Amino acid sequence: MSTVQTLRQALLALFALTLVGVAGYMTLAHMSFMDALYMTVITLTTVGFREVQPLDTAGQAFTMVLLFTGLGIVFYSATLVARELIEGSVQQALGRRKVQRQIAHMSGHYIVCGFGRMGRIVCKELEAKPVPFVVVEKDPEMLRDLEAEHYPFLAGDATEDQVLIEAGIQRARGLVAALSKDADNVYVVLTARELGPELLIVARAEDERSERKLLHAGATRVVSPYTIGGHRMAHALLRPAVLDVIDLATHYRSIELQIEEVTVPKGGFCEGLAIQQSGLRDQLGLIVIAIKKPGGEMVFNPRAEVKIEAGDRLVLMGQTSNLRQIEDRLRSPTSG
């Protein structure tokens, strides 16, 4: 039972007891309504004022029952409220300490700065992957939403160096700057790039003019919601079937088809093999859309005889289960 519910029930009980007291005095002592209400109030509040009129034995007994009942309700309600407050504070403190320990042990994780509309979508995608991540947010309402979602989060201003350090930016793999103001995102990107020179940084730009500033500040990639939304609307008009395939392959809830990017480690099971020998197409039914070489060269629709090398990033499309299988194989370099 919450503190609010406890208080509500206590007030209802006191109101009901007041009605009983008024009715009792009017019946037993033949008092008027105001006199009966006065006697009930001074009895329940234990102020000790004089009686309106002398009470007989029945009236005195009724007064004692009313007094002890009222005190019992007050003390019981106060105990419940105190317990709720103390237990809630202790549980909150223990929960925050647990999350802090969890963040302190994170490595290769992602930091999401801002839990607005875009930040929520990013978190759902990261959770569905799944990959470790931590959210940095300062808005109290957003923090309550984060608690409800059970996402690991840090309450603080993402533009401050110390907050990003506490979020483990020096151990992180990437950062998303999804704050509502472009100026704040520029500051986050500047700070993040200084703390993590090799960090992958994706920033949100509300204004197209801010894209250049974010890139200059150190963002790896800049995403403009309005630009992307405009492109999607145009695709919906001109290429609806293409958009359907893209939506199906990139939505985190899709179980039929996914587009995934995997990196081939040194000693990976398909290193040094041509695409046709790797089993990606024949055994797993995966489509190799592109290969991004370590130097940045992108090979689209590679031929079957193209060799896969360590450090290559394969852009694959296929069933989710088969993509999970290839990821598991690549995590075990000795697997064949």
The parent domain of residue 266 ranges over 255-331
Q: How far apart are CA 151 and CA 159, in angstroms?
A: 20
Mean pLDDT of 310-321: 88
Ramachandran area for residue 50 (φ above 0: left; ψ -120 to 50: alpha; else beta): beta
Give the three-class secondary structure for 335. coil
- 164 inside domain: yes
Q: Same domain, yes or no, for 70 and 115?
A: no
Number of helical H runs and strand E runs in the chain: 12, 10
Local confidence band at 162 (pLDDT 50, 70, 90 cut-offs)? very high
Asked if the model's pLDDT at residue 220 lies above 90, the reply is yes
- Residue 116 and residue 210 in one domain: yes
Task: Tell me the average pLDDT of the chain.
Answer: 85
pLDDT tens figures, 275-311 = 998 888 888 889 899 999 988 899 999 999 999 999 9
Residue 86 or residue 225, greater confidence: 225
Q: How many domains does the chain have?
A: 3
> 99-103, 179-183, 226-230, 270-274: which has the highest mean pLDDT?
179-183
Structural domain ending residue among the three candidates 171, 202, 223: 223
pLDDT in tens, 33-47: 998 888 888 888 777
Q: What is the DSSP string of 307-333?
A: BP-TT-EEEEEE-HHHHHHHHHHHH-T
Q: Are 7 and 77 in contact (CB under 8 A)?
A: yes
132 and 73 housed in the same domain? no
Least confident of 22-31, 45-54, 88-97, 305-314: 88-97
Higher pLDDT, 183 or 71: 183
Question: What's the confidence (pLDDT) of residue 322?
Answer: 86
Distance CA 13, CA 35 (A): 21
Look up residue 292 and give its two tokens. Answer: 């991004």
**Statement to judge: residues 53 and 23 lie in one domain:** yes
Q: Which whole number is the average pLDDT over 103-125?
A: 92
Residue where a domain stops, chosen among 56, 77, 101: 101
pLDDT exceeds 70 at position 74: yes
Q: What is the pLDDT of residue 255?
A: 60
98, 212, 92, 72: which is closest to 144 by C-alpha?
Answer: 92
Q: How confident is the model at residue 260 (pLDDT cuts 50, 70, 90)?
A: confident
C-alpha–C-alpha distance, residues 44 and 264, integer Å: 77
Residue 327 lies in a domain: yes
Q: Which of 88-97, 115-124, 154-163, 220-229 has the lowest mean pLDDT?
A: 88-97
Q: Residue 303 belongs to a domain with what CATH number?
A: 3.30.70.1450
- Bond prior to 130 in cis (omega within 30° of 0): yes
- Which range, of 5-9, 109-113, 325-329, 330-334, averages the lowest pLDDT? 330-334
pLDDT in tens, 132-153: 999 999 999 999 899 889 899 9
Phi-psi label, residue 172: left if phi above 0, alpha if psi -120 to 50, beta otherwise = beta
Of the candidates 160, 192, 189, 191, the residue with the CA atom closest to the CA atom of residue 205: 189
pLDDT reported for residue 335: 46
Do 91 and 158 lie in one domain? The reply is: no
Residue 321 and residue 70: Cα distance in Å, rounded? 64
Q: What is the DSSP string of 209-233?
A: HHHHHHHHHT-SEEE-HHHHHHHHH
Encoding tokens for residue 32? Answer: 């008027």
Tally of CB atoms within 10 A around 204: 25
Helix or strand (DSSP H, E) at 285: none
Q: How far apart are CA 314 and CA 295, in angstroms?
A: 14
Is the pLDDT at 60 greater than 80? The verdict is yes
Question: 103 falls in which pLDDT band (50, 70, 90)?
Answer: confident
- Does 75 lie in the same domain as 89? yes
pLDDT for res 88: 57
Last residue of a domain, one of 101, 121, 137: 101
Residue 118 lies in a domain: yes
Residue 336 is assigned to a structural domain of this protein: no
CA dihedral (26, 29, 30, 34) in degrees, to 10, reads -50
Q: Are 206 and 182 in contact (CB under 8 A)?
A: yes
Check: CB of residue 264 under 8 Å from CB of residue 310: yes
pLDDT at 203: 95
Please indicate, yes or no, if residue 233 is contained in any of the structural domains.
no
Residue 214 has pLDDT above 90, yes or no: yes
Confidence of residue 204 (pLDDT cuts 50, 70, 90): very high
CATH number at residue 174: 3.40.50.720
Q: What number of other Cβ atoms are within 10 A of residue 269's Cβ?
A: 18
Domain annotation covers residue 265: yes
In terms of average pLDDT, the best of 17-26, 98-107, 184-193 is: 184-193
For residues 122 and 204, state if they share a domain: yes
Q: Over 60: is that where the pLDDT of 90 sits?
A: no
